[in-house]
Amino acid sequence: MKTIDELLAEGVAGKRVFVRADLNVPLAGTTITDDGRIRAVQPTVARLAEAGARVIVASHLGRPKGAPDPAFSLAPAAARLGELLGADVAFATDTVGESARAVVAGLADGRVAVLENLRFNPGETSKDDAERGAFADDLAGLADLYVGDGFGAVHRKHASVYDLPARLPHAAGYLIATEVGVLKKLTDDVKRPYAVVLGGAKVSDKLGVIDHLLEKADRILIGGGMVFTFLKAQGHETGSSLLQEDQIPAVQEYLRRADERGVEFVLPVDVLVAPEFPDLRTKAPAHPATVAADAIPAGQMGLDIGPETGRLYASKLADAETVFWNGPMGVFEHPDYAEGTKAVAQALVDSPGFSVVGGGDSAAAVRILGFDEKAFGHISTGGGASLEYLEGKTLPGLAALED
């Protein structure tokens, strides 16, 4: 895989460089609530601009239906990128149309432009190779070189991620190089004990990574909504908690394999429960109760791991040399259900080992809950991409960057 430094050594001054970034940031209206992904790509964009390239940044945001939708415009992300760069950033109001062509044609050396949301064009996500390829052809017409730096999208076989690099000389940006280097520490020559913390809503989202980590990890700690399927698989009542009954046989098999292989599977000993899901808009007090994890009353739903579990999980991470965490422990967006996620985050901060926060809601949580990002070994920008890499899958966007 060619690096951006090699590309820079060959010279990029005056050349149009297409940077596939991941600017898929959360928005409240037009306000960015977490700019982590924009900050992550800024070093690549800044270095190319400093070298005199005409930088064309492109990304998706959200899941529009292949047509323009103001709710998913990248205009706020373009403005924030300009603030981080300390320079004006031009913005094209389409992807490959009149505005994009005019904006790119008007770029001077060392200047930056952002195209509108790539998913406003149906060719970006099409499963039809010809339609996707036609869109990639149009994108290629805007540029001379390609730099892949949108790690959060490399697991997608999309036009700008997979097809476009085949049409232009290409290299990996700084973010992708960093992400891959970190993930190799979780798969090759891992320092032990190796502990994995998995949370989030659905166990079905994590089946592949659990299957793979049973061959790698020493301890697997489970939290979030997915934990109730594990508790049910052990024969415990889970009240009205989130439950995927169709996954119980798979979970039982994982528990059996873990026991067989000597992998420590750690489940909560207590949980916070309430009769209903909290109001995340008003953050009104929820008044949860703490109950034993194996004694959740009927009509009550589990919404966070309990304080005793938080202490238990911290003890299981205290001596870990390598820790990977993906998925919050509860409904962290509400203050009454944030303590479990806080406890895990603090345990990673306190752990002497190398800690990786695996993107997605986990990455958002550590920032929203006020943790210093520098206190962690690495905070990934790609939740789904990180998980698929750990599953051992071939990621289309990385394969496309291979020479």
240 neighbors 198 (Cβ within 8 angstroms): no
Angstrom distance (rounded) from CA 136 to CA 124:
8
Q: Find residue 220's DSSP bridge partners.
A: 196, 265
Q: Which two tokens stand for residue 365?
A: 């949580």
- The residue from 101, 111, 167, 202 that is catalytic is 202
Q: Please enumerate in sequence order all residues whose Cβ is within 8 A of that of 97, keeping only pairs 6 or more positions apart, or say none.
A: none
Computed on alpha carbons and rounded to an integer, the radius of gyration of the chain in Å comes to 22
- 261 CB burial (10 A radius; 0-12, 13-18, 19+): exposed
- The residue from 223, 310, 327, 384 that is catalytic is 384
Angstrom distance (rounded) from CA 45 to CA 25:
17
4 neighbors 171 (Cβ within 8 angstroms): yes
**Which amino acid is present at 150?**
G
- The residue from 199, 310, 360, 382 that is catalytic is 360
**Which amino acid is present at 193?**
P
Q: Is 37 a catalytic residue?
A: yes
Q: Is 360 a catalytic residue?
A: yes
Indicate the DSSP class of residue 67.
Answer: S
- The residue from 37, 47, 206, 232 that is catalytic is 37
Catalytic residues: 37, 202, 360, 384
